[in-house]
C-alpha cells in the first residue's frame, strides 16, 4: 500500500472514531438532562433480572420454563414467565430500555450507556437480614451497594466525577426486599425465632433498612423508593408449609399477612422519620414508600376482575412448593399463565407484575415530576 493510501485510510479511521465519540457524548449529555436519567434497583427475586446466573448458588431460574412468555422464550434469570414490574417501570420512565439488565451480565457491565441508564443489582433469595442471603449463598444487600460504588467508578472514568455525581442525584433508586427474611428465614427456620420475638425481628429488619438507606445517601442518591412486603400468607409456598390441610383448603393465612402489614407500617413510619431528619441537613433527598401489599391483596380478593382463575397455586408444576430448580423443563406448566396470579409457588406471573406496575403508576408519576 502506498504511503498516500495509508495516510488517507488513517485519516478516514480517525474521522470515524471522532464521529462515534461525538455520538456517544451526545447520548451521554442527553441522558444527563433527562428528569430520570438512570434507574437503579436493589433487592431480591422480585427485582432480580438474572444476577444469580453469575454467582455460585442453586437459587437460579435461567432455564425453562422460566421466561416462557418472552418473545424469544429465553430464560433470563427472572423468576417469572416474562417481565418484572421493574422492567415496566424502566420502560415507562423513559430510560431508553424495555428490560432492566442485571449488573453482573457482562453485556451490561461493560457498556457505559447501559450502566448510565440503569441496571439491577438485586439477587434472588436476598434480604435485609444478613442471615437470609447466607441461606441461599446469594448477594447480600451491602454487597449490592458495593456494586453501585463500582458502577460509579466506571462512570467517573468516562464522564468525570462531577457529571457522575449529578447523574446519581437525578437518578431513581428502588429497593424491594424483606419477603425472604420472613418467608424463607424467620417463619421457616428456627434460628431467628430463638433470638427475636416477631416485633423484635421486624425492628431488627428496619434497622438494616436504615443502614441501607444511609449507604445510598452516602453515595449521593436523592430519590429513593422502598417497597413494602406482600401479603405473605397468600404465597402458595406459605400456604403449603403452614396450613394444617394445605392440599384441601388453600386460603390465605392471616397470621403471616398480618406480620407483613405490621412490618409495612413500621417501615412507613421509619421513612417518614428519616425524611423529617433529612429536611434540614439534606432537603433535596426524597424517600418514597411504594405499596405492594394492597395491590396484591386486591388481586386475591377481586381475582375475577383481573381475569385470574387460580390465586393460591403457581402455574409451574403442582404450584404448591416448586420454585427455582424445582420448577424446571420437565415440570408440567399450565396452558395459560395469564389466568394465574403466581408463576411458581412464590413469584407472581408477568400479568400480576404488570398489574403491580399499573398500581405503582401514580407514585412513579409523582416521583418523576418532583
Query: What pLDDT does residue 13 have?
Result: 54
In a domain, 134, yes or no: yes
pLDDT for 163-212, tens place per residue? 999 999 999 999 999 999 999 999 999 999 999 999 999 999 999 999 99
* Catalytic hit among 31, 44, 45, 257: 45
In a domain, 75, yes or no: yes
Query: What pLDDT does residue 9 have?
Result: 52
The answer to whether 242 is a known catalytic residue is: no
In a domain, 238, yes or no: yes
pLDDT for 210-229, tens place per residue? 999 999 999 999 999 999 99
In a domain, 8, yes or no: no
The answer to whether 347 is a known catalytic residue is: yes
Closest-CA residue to 158 (of 345, 29, 336): 29
Cell numbers placing 300: 386475591
In a domain, 268, yes or no: yes
The answer to whether 208 is a known catalytic residue is: no
Q: Which domain holds residue 126?
A: 36-294
Catalogue the long-range contacts made by 68-77 (C-beta closer than 8 Å, 24 or more residues apart). Answer: 68/333, 68/337, 69/337, 69/350, 76/49, 76/50, 76/102, 77/48, 77/49, 77/50, 77/51, 77/52, 77/53, 77/102, 77/124
- Cα(44)–Cα(66) distance, integer angstroms: 17
In a domain, 311, yes or no: no
* Catalytic hit among 129, 344, 345, 354: 344
In a domain, 354, yes or no: no
Residue 247 is part of a domain; what is its CATH number? 3.40.50
pLDDT for 272-304, tens place per residue? 999 999 998 999 999 999 999 999 999 999 999
In a domain, 64, yes or no: yes
Query: What pLDDT does residue 5 have?
Result: 53
* Catalytic hit among 167, 208, 347, 354: 347
Q: Which residue has the cell 437525578?
A: 170
Return per-residue pLDDT of the chain as tens, 370 residues. Answer: 555 555 555 555 555 544 444 444 444 433 333 579 999 999 999 999 999 999 999 999 999 999 999 988 899 999 999 999 999 999 999 998 999 999 999 999 999 999 999 999 999 999 999 999 999 999 999 999 999 999 999 999 999 999 999 999 999 999 999 999 999 999 999 999 999 999 999 999 999 999 999 999 999 999 999 999 999 999 999 999 998 887 778 899 999 999 999 999 999 999 999 999 999 899 999 999 999 999 999 999 999 999 999 999 999 999 999 999 999 999 999 999 999 999 999 999 999 999 999 999 999 999 988 8
Q: How many domains is the chain partitioned into structurally?
A: 1
Check: CB of residue 349 under 8 Å from CB of residue 315. yes
Check: CB of residue 285 under 8 Å from CB of residue 217. yes
Q: Give the distance between the most distant pair of CA atoms in the chain.
A: 86
Amino acid at each position: 500500500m502506498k504511503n498516500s493510501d495509508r495516510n488517507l485510510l488513517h485519516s478516514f479511521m480517525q474521522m470515524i472514531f471522532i464521529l462515534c465519540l461525538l455520538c456517544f457524548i451526545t447520548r451521554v449529555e442527553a441522558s444527563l438532562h433527562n428528569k430520570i436519567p438512570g434507574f437503579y434497583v436493589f433487592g431480591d427475586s422480585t427485582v432480580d433480572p438474572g444476577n444469580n446466573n453469575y454467582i455460585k448458588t442453586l437459587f437460579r431460574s435461567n432455564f425453562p420454563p422460566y421466561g416462557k412468555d418472552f418473545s424469544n422464550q429465553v430464560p433470563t434469570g427472572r423468576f417469572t414467565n416474562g417481565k418484572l414490574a421493574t422492567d415496566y417501570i424502566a420502560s415507562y420512565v423513559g430510560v431508553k430500555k424495555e428490560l432492566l439488565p442485571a449488573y453482573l451480565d457482562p453485556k451490561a457491565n461493560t457498556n457505559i450507556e447501559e450502566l448510565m441508564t440503569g441496571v439491577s443489582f438485586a439477587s434472588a433469595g436476598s434480604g435485609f437480614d444478613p442471615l437470609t442471603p447466607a441461606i441461599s449463598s446469594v448477594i447480600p444487600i451491602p454487597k449490592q451497594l458495593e456494586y453501585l460504588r463500582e458502577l460509579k467508578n466506571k462512570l467517573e472514568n468516562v464522564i468525570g466525577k462531577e457529571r457522575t455525581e449529578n447523574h446519581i442525584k437525578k437518578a431513581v433508586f428502588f429497593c424491594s426486599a424483606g419477603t425472604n427474611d420472613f418467608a424463607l428465614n424467620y417463619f421457616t427456620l428456627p434460628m431467628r425465632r430463638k433470638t427475636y420475638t416477631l416485633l423484635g425481628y421486624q425492628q431488627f429488619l428496619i434497622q438494616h433498612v436504615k443502614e441501607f438507606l444511609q449507604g445510598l445517601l452516602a453515595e449521593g442518591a436523592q430519590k429513593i423508593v422502598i417497597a413494602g412486603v406482600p401479603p405473605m400468607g397468600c404465597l402458595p409456598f406459605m400456604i403449603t408449609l403452614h396450613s394444617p390441610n394445605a392440599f384441601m383448603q388453600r386460603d390465605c393465612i392471616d397470621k403471616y399477612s398480618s406480620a407483613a402489614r405490621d412490618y409495612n407500617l413500621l417501615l412507613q413510619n421509619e421513612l417518614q422519620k428519616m425524611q423529617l431528619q433529612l429536611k434540614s441537613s439534606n432537603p433535596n433527598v426524597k424517600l418514597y414508600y411504594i405499596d405492594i401489599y394492597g395491590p396484591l391483596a386486591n388481586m386475591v380478593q377481586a381475582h375475577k376482575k383481573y381475569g385470574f382463575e387460580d390465586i393460591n397455586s403457581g402455574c409451574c408444576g403442582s404450584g404448591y412448593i416448586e420454585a427455582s430448580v424445582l420448577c424446571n423443563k420437565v415440570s408440567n406448566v399450565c396452558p395459560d399463565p395469564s389466568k394465574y396470579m403466581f408463576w411458581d409457588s412464590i413469584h407472581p406471573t408477568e400479568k400480576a407484575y404488570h398489574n403491580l406496575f399499573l398500581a405503582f403508576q401514580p407514585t412513579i408519576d409523582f416521583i418523576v415530576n418532583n
